[in-house]
Amino acid sequence: MTEARKPGFSDCNNATLRRAARSLGRFYDDALGPTGLKSTQFGMLFQIHISDEPAMGTIAEALIMDLSALGHTLKPLIRDGYVETFPDKDDRRVKRVRLTPQGQAKLDEALKLWSVAQRQFENKVGAEQAAKLRAALDAVADLDLEMPAAAPSN
Amino acid sequence: MTEARKPGFSDCNNATLRRAARSLGRFYDDALGPTGLKSTQFGMLFQIHISDEPAMGTIAEALIMDLSALGHTLKPLIRDGYVETFPDKDDRRVKRVRLTPQGQAKLDEALKLWSVAQRQFENKVGAEQAAKLRAALDAVADLDLEMPAAAPSN
DNA sequence: CCCTGAAAGTGGCATATGCCACTAATGGAA
DNA sequence: TTCCATTAGTGGCATATGCCACTTTCAGGG
């Protein structure tokens, strides 16, 4: 610890997490490059794929993302014909989402490249270690964090 | 495992990481809300703070972020008067960065709220566990990942 | 000293995400 | 049935990030 410690380092859990996300994101993005999909888009297609014509709100909840953000994120995928939406039969407020045949095909294509990247990653850190990390991250993501209501003087 | 497993799930390390990042990011963002800073901006000010008038490239490297992305990210902070840049004495290509007095003040202000959030988080997961997670994330971020050069037939 | 390739940033363009203000539908309560 | 609080999305605006094409400087080699 001669100087200011090497890399990023604040002990901030959030900063550390984002830093890792940028790093890993670049790797998966590179891997998926040939498909023209970003790793985020791949993740979105996959999520839709494993769900049963989910409502937007359902996806947003599963991915812990803002509903409006989801809407924005979906646009390029809809524009490119990978995803389509349709109204729910019973509740006209609800918009459901599904992959188009092209979307399914693109996902299949991407899965091949993804699995290579995934394997590459697990070879480096160890499959078990990776699984533990994912479990820890899921646990963190699902934490019910709340600020102390910032009420020291009220 | 009745249905499609609960939350986000693909076993994708990247997707899991991003999901956690969105979740945790929201928490820290809320915590820093009163300061008007996003958690990302807080992290940036902190990084600049612990460095010694770093060159842009140095910051980008430490945070594992694209140099141009760094430039974009810095703009709001410069516009708001928290950060300023100045040319390196010896190399005119290099632009160095530092906090302004207001930036330092804002950072001090933010640190108080940040520490509350940080403590809150560590109370939930345990300080030791949190440290381990950060270490794991730093390790992942610093991995030298490379795709198999996609050369099956060349 | 001139030319060339590397290094450091900038700008433009595109996606990722969030928050807020609104609008459209719903599901009761009165 | 009418009216209101709630729920689901949309659009606008702003920040976060990346990649690519340039432009400006440097550092060397000849």
For A66-77, how does the pLDDT look when each residue is reduced to its tens digit (9 = 90+)?
A: 999 999 999 999
Q: How large a percentage of chain B has pLDDT more than 70?
A: 89
Do the domain assignments include residue A8?
no
Do the domain assignments include residue B152?
no
Token pair for B36 = 């008007």
Token pair for A18 = 């984002």
Do the domain assignments include residue B102?
yes
Reported as a single tens digit per residue, the pLDDT across B15-56 is 999 999 999 999 999 999 999 999 999 999 999 999 999 999
**Least Cα separation, residue B149 to chain A (angstroms):** 10
Which residues of A fall within a CB distance of 8 Å from B22?
63-65, 141
Do the domain assignments include residue B81?
yes
Q: Are B78 and B84 in contact (CB under 8 A)?
A: yes
Do the domain assignments include residue A2?
no
Inform me whether the pLDDT recorded for A31 exceeds 90: yes
Interface contact B147-A31, CB threshold 8 A: yes
Q: Give the count of Cβ contacts less than 8 A between chain A and B.
A: 215
Interface contact A50-B117, CB threshold 8 A: no
Tell me the nt nearest to B18, Cα to C1': C16
Q: Is B81 left (phi over 0), alpha (psi -120 to 50) or beta?
A: left
User: Per DSSP, what are the bridge partners of residue B96?
Assistant: B55, B86
Do the domain assignments include residue B79?
yes
Residue B52 neighbours by CB distance under 10 Å: 11
> How distant is C1' of C3 from CA of B109, in Å?
53
Reported as a single tens digit per residue, the pLDDT across B101-116 is 999 999 999 999 999 9
> How many domains in chain B?
1
Instruction: Note the pLDDT of residue A149.
Output: 57
Q: CA dist B98 to A88, A133, B51, Å?
A: 53, 35, 9
Structural domain harbouring A121: 13-125
Nucleic acid strand D within 7 Å of A22 CB: yes
Do the domain assignments include residue A107?
yes
Banded model confidence at residue B144, pLDDT cuts 50, 70, 90: confident
Nucleic acid strand C within 7 Å of B56 CB: yes
Strand C nucleotides in reach of protein CB atoms, 7 A cut-off: 7-21, 24-27
Largest CA distance in chain A: 65
CATH number, domain containing residue B52: 1.10.10.10
Residue of B nearest to A130 (CA): B13
Residue of A nearest to B65 (CA): A22
Q: What backbone phi and psi angles, to 5 degrees, belong to B103? A: -65, -40
Strand D nucleotides in reach of protein CB atoms, 7 A cut-off: 7-21, 24-27
* Choice between B123 and A153, residue whose per-residue pLDDT is larger: B123
Query: How many residues are listed for chain B in this entry?
Result: 154
Alpha-helical (H) ranges within B2-152 are: 13-32, 39-50, 56-62, 67-79, 101-125, 127-141
Residue of A nearest to B126 (CA): A140
Token pair for A37 = 């999909």
* CA neighbor of A54 nearest in space, from A63, B1, A73: A63
Inform me whether the pLDDT recorded for A9 exceeds 80: no
Instruction: Note the pLDDT of residue A7.
Output: 38
Token pair for A117 = 């990247």
The 8-class DSSP code of residue B126 comes to -
* CA neighbor of A14 nearest in space, from B46, B143, B82: B46
The whole-angstrom separation of Cα B47 and Cα B98 is: 10
User: Per DSSP, what are the bridge partners of residue A119?
Assistant: none
